[in-house]
Amino acid sequence: MTFVNFTVETDADGIALVTWDMPNRSMNVFTEEVMQELQAIIDQVASDDAVKGAVITSGKSNFSAGADLTMLNRMTGEFARLHAEDHAKAVDFLFDVGGAMSRLFRKLETSGKPWVSAINGICMGGAFELSLACHGRVVADSDTVKIALPEVKVGIFPGAGGTQRVPRLTNTQDALQMLTSGQTLSAKKAKGMGLVHEVAAADTIVATAKSMIKNGLKPVQPWDEKGFKLPGGPVYSAAGANLWPPAIAILRRETAGNYPAAAAILKCVYEGLLVPFDTALKIELRYFVEILQTTEAAMMIRSLFVSLQELNKGARRPAGQPESKFTKIGVLGAGFMGAGIAYVTAKAGIPVVLLDRDMDAANKGKAHSEGLMDGLIKKNRATAEDKDKLLSLITPTADYADLDGCDLIVEAVFEDSEIKKAVTEKAEAVIAKDAIFASNTSTIPITSLAKNSARPKNFVGIHFFSPVDKMNLVEIILGKETEDKAVAVAIDYVRAIKKTPIVVNDTRGFYVNRCVLRYMSEAYKMLIEGIPAPMIENGAKLAGMPVGPLALTDETAVDLAQKIMKQTVRDLGEKAVDPQQLALINTMVDKHGRFGRKNGKGFYDYPAKPAKKSLWPGLKDLYKQKKPEDIDIEEIKQRLLVTIALEAARVMEEGIVTDPREADVGSILAFGFAPYTGGALSYIDGMGVAKFVKLAKTLQKKYGADFKAPKLLLDMADQGETFYTRFDPYQGSEKEAA
């Protein structure tokens, strides 16, 4: 029998080698066709007396990334369609389709023949669940190996036996850590946890797997044998009593009850370990179907799985533009941002010229990369050879002539229009006429900066976030004259350095900063109202934000907030800034010298390590404090999320962002907008636009015009629309496969 996605070859020892190698794909993924073919292969191996066992491996550089995004999307889409007609029928559909992979893997492990998985490179999600169902697992001894069950990060959980096999192979505490965090394991870590049997040289994993079968590998899983004992001990034991209560408390602390899938994992493991394995799989499927029906799963799958992959593949790249091949990038300014941009560029293997006013400044910028690589080496995530290779790609200079031959220039000098004008003119005098010039400005409109350029059609914004090496989002900003070539080159560059691009039209603050400033502003209002600072910060955490608004102000600098406010007043007039908020920031900076983390004191105090930061006690003396019992913590959570979501809606209304995928993904990657919501616009869609508008009106009555819903939202509420129907990013076309 021949297959599209697999080849099956049986050797002289009667061992079938099943090689997964999907045509026209860079990565193997589970599709309906793959699952049908795998079922036929399992039947073929089981029924052929000449076959003693099977090894499954990949014909690509990675094993598999797990489920295909289109398969998951089709499943949730079909459920939604059926649900509108008949809820019971829709749920039955989820039980049938959602449980197909679990049934397939159980069929494999009870087929009567031993199976071994030979894992190379990435092995994620359903692919690792397939491997766990095999009777043996061999992993390549390579840094490229990444093993994980990351489903919780997109609002679901390993529903094909992962929650049952992992805690039967390793101790329960480690299993819970892996499952609830989506932790990625190296080959060594997986072996240490007992999740794989052998670690072998990459070119010997198939031979090692075959040897396991030849040496008498049992075709029976440990949990199917009589007398099986759990590695972590029974649930009802002293070990269990010490594990489960704190596990529940830790999960509550980490998730604030916002992630149903994480809670479901604990329930699956707890209940599953009390019953026989087949019953445990039924328990897992019950919870899996329940989670698939949640708003959180729908929104997170869409934004953090589907949309993120589409944007990373260049969904917003202008059509018809040739793909860019970068041979040399120029970075103007070797300060913290410029040095970070040079580092990520070199890390992508692209030669970069790092220019500053003198060699001392340029060399200091290169030293930033050296420090980052030293940190990776210390953590065993890089080698001395990696460091030497990266540093060899960075050329520090003070001579503009060294920019000759650059495909792209990224300007990252001070936020001063005159300085930017000078470096633009000097660089353009050297670079080719068709080279692209990008500014990393975070506050100055690109259209105004493009006036300094002799080729405004080739001028574009590439706005990085700090620290560059850690932040995955980049805003690409279009000036009025920016042409498609510049946009395509900018997107190609962002993709080359393995970051996610979103395309934003020109405006003050672009997209991300407009939303972030609203978040901070609402916190200032709360302080002025007398809400205790700990309640503001804790309210933000309970709402799902990774960093409270006061802590975020410290990170970006309180004196920067002051500069932005004062510049806004100069540009737009005194009414553009709340005078009470400006007074608060002036008091912090001018009276108390509290600039933020950079000088060790802002809204928080930053003592020497290992002591942790703590809120500045003086905050409570700035305004008369309300009693905590008189404050509604739910309302604090709502205010912080709604103010951001309203700004995102205004940005869409103004045409600054035109694709809801970019608004959602951008809000999560840039400042961590409550990921369980799927992003700022999905927060509105998930709640229902009419319900959101009603909430905004309630907040507006109590807290003023900042909560006024824009006309766009009122229209959408009246017409029963969502952002993904009003601004359909696909315009009726089919989504691309992974």
> Residue 459 and residue 447: Cα distance in Å, rounded?
9
DSSP string, 318-337: PTTPPPP--S-EEEE--SHH
Residue 350 contacts by C-beta under 8 Å, 6 or more apart in sequence? Answer: 326, 327, 328, 329, 393, 496, 497
> Residue 641 and residue 672: Cα distance in Å, rounded?
11
**Closest CA relative to residue 158, chosen from 590, 167, 734, 185:** 167
Two structure tokens written together for 353: 């010229």
Q: How far is CA 599 from CA 552, 555, 589, 595, in A?
A: 15, 11, 11, 6
**Closest CA relative to residue 247, chosen from 152, 159, 153, 181:** 181
Two structure tokens written together for 653: 């209304």
For residues 240 and 234, is the Cβ–Cβ distance under 8 A? yes
CA angle 498, 504, 507 (to 5 degrees): 135
Preceding amide of 660 cis, omega within 30: no
**Closest CA relative to residue 167, chosen from 235, 79, 96, 225:** 235
Helix/strand/coil for 394? strand
With left for phi above 0 and alpha for psi between -120 and 50, is residue 466 left, alpha or beta?
Answer: beta
Q: Is 449 exposed, middle or buried (0-12, 13-18, 19+ CB in 10 A)?
A: buried
Question: Active-site residue 463, yes or no?
Answer: yes
For residues 341 and 348, is the Cβ–Cβ distance under 8 A? no
Helices (H), 384-532: 384-392, 417-428, 446-450, 484-496, 512-529
SS3 letters for 119-167?
Answer: ECCEEECHHHHHHHHCCEEEEECCCCCEEECCHHHHCCCCCCCHHHHHH
Q: How far is CA 409 from CA 345, 352, 427, in A?
A: 12, 10, 8
**Closest CA relative to residue 167, chosen from 99, 229, 111, 100:** 229
> Residue 134 and residue 196: Cα distance in Å, rounded?
10
For residues 689 and 713, is the Cβ–Cβ distance under 8 A? yes
Helix/strand/coil for 671? helix
Cβ of 12: how many Cβ atoms within 10 Å?
Answer: 5
- Give strand pairing partners of 124: 148
Give the up-direction half-sphere exposure of residue 511: CA atoms within 13 A in the CB hemisphere.
40
- Give strand pairing partners of 55: 17, 116
The pair phi, psi for residue 273, each rounded to 5°, is -75, -5
CA 307 to chain centre: 11
Catalytic residue among 83, 87, 463, 592: 463
DSSP string, 183-240: -EE-HHHHHHHTS-SEEE-GGGHHHHHHHHHHTT--SS-GGGSTT---TT--SSSHHH
CA angle 86, 90, 94 (to 5 degrees): 170
Residue 438 contacts by C-beta under 8 Å, 6 or more apart in sequence? Answer: 408, 409, 410, 411, 459, 460, 461, 462, 486, 490
Residues with catalytic annotation? Answer: 463
